[in-house]
Chain A
Amino acid sequence: MQEHRETAPLTGDPKMLLVDRAMQRVQCRPDALIEVLHTAQEAFGYLSRELLAHVAAVLGIPESGVYGVATFYHFFTLQPPSEHSCVVCIGTVCHVKGGGELKDALEKRFGVREGDTGCDGRLYLGTARCLGMCSLAPVMVLDDLVYGRESPAGSVEKVGRALEVRSDRNGAGRTGRSGG
């Protein structure tokens, strides 16, 4: 079980201002919970218990209700983000064209299970059900950069390179981002 602090030690955090402003913008209406959680996750990278408790208190929603919403939607994560994130698309087309093999190869090479972090917590491996770039299948998103027509060997190499260098956010003139 997690450790919980009842007070909100985050109030001094400047990132918290963003969240508070987002809540004021919607007049603290409880129906804007999902928007607020989007803002909060963008600011902090993940939704901590303290953050959720603060949002619940300000919007006047029971804590279990906020927790229920935060865990219902795949977009929200309650774990701190790892250094690198790799999302393999397993939408229908990517599945047919070998997205599963990409995922298997990455799991095997880096000893990380899908939906989990590995390599001393430095790599997160996730899957997405269709990023809408089916014409480039199979697609992999490594640190917000989209790579299309991937092969298992190629994806292993790219992730390996990302892990060697500490930050590789301007890869090969490619742009575009994705959720997942």
Chain B
Amino acid sequence: MSVVTLTMNGRLISARQGESLLQAAREHGIEIPTLCHLDGLEPLGGCRLCLVEVRGSPRPLPACLTQASEGLVVETDTAALVEYRRMIVELLLAERAHTCSVCVRNGRCELQAMAARLGVDHVRFEYRYRLLPLDASHERFTLDHNRCILCRRCVRVCDAVEGAHTWDVCFRGINGRVVSDLDRPWGESTSCTGCGKCVHLCPTGALSRTVDVGDEAARERASLLRILERRAGIREEGA
């Protein structure tokens, strides 16, 4: 496996050829924010939080989809990038009803943590306040569209790891939402295996256990993440 050297935030770092900038940064202790990416899932490039500035590129590039190559000069935290990231989080918060105080994931939510990390203490845009349905038809899980940020982790893990492809996205743009089967209630889905992988990976409170027992959930999530880690390793070797 060949190794390349690139400059990140003024530091020379080494990375494996073909590795994403996001991974390379992480290995050197540089945390680039992201809400849609998870190692082991096909990169999506949808949340745009991991955008970085690469010298020679006219616009910022997503770190999850940009491969490390020799001599790249990358900046991950310029003032412009930080401002873009704040606006993205604000747009997400305004898009649906993320009322943390009454959310099952309050305190363990990746969106909430991201807002805190980026210093988003208020939202400059008007909240949309559109009430979306809640699907509690499944015996163990609940889907609350109001909390969904359309990161598609559930869609990807269900398709690639569980092989069920229960989830997909329907409609488009601002009206897009995740859907199970032919818009059947989740509880009546014929393809869902009830494995709960989607619930474990949901960054917000959109997918949750109807009765959330903290310890058990954390244990299961940890073992899923180990599976994904291995998958990421396999994919790299295959690439």
Contacts and interface: CB of A to CB of B under 8 A. Distances in A.
A and B co-occur in one complex: yes
Interface string B95-128: 0000000000000000000000000000000000
B171 A72 contact: yes
Interface in B147-168: 159, 164-168
A52 interface: yes
Contact of B170 (A1, A4, A53, A67): A67
Contacts of B188: 4
A34 B61 CA distance: 32
A65 B170 CA distance: 8
Interface size class of A (residues with CB under 8 A): 10 to 19
Contacts, number: 54
Nearest to A49: B182
Interface string B18-29: 000000000000
B179 A67 contact: yes
B148 to A, nearest CB: 15
A49 B182 CA distance: 7
21 contacts: A1-B184, A4-B182, A4-B188, A49-B183, A52-B182, A56-B182, A62-B159, A62-B166, A62-B191, A63-B182, A64-B165, A64-B168, A64-B179, A64-B182, A65-B168, A67-B168, A67-B170, A67-B179, A67-B181, A68-B168, A68-B179
Interface string A72-112: 10000000000000000000000000000000000000000
B80 to A, nearest CB: 33
Interface residues of B, number: 20
A150 to B, nearest CB: 29
Interface in B167-202: 167-172, 179-185, 188, 190-191
B165 A65 contact: yes
A108 B185 CA distance: 36
Contact of B183 (A2, A6, A65): A2
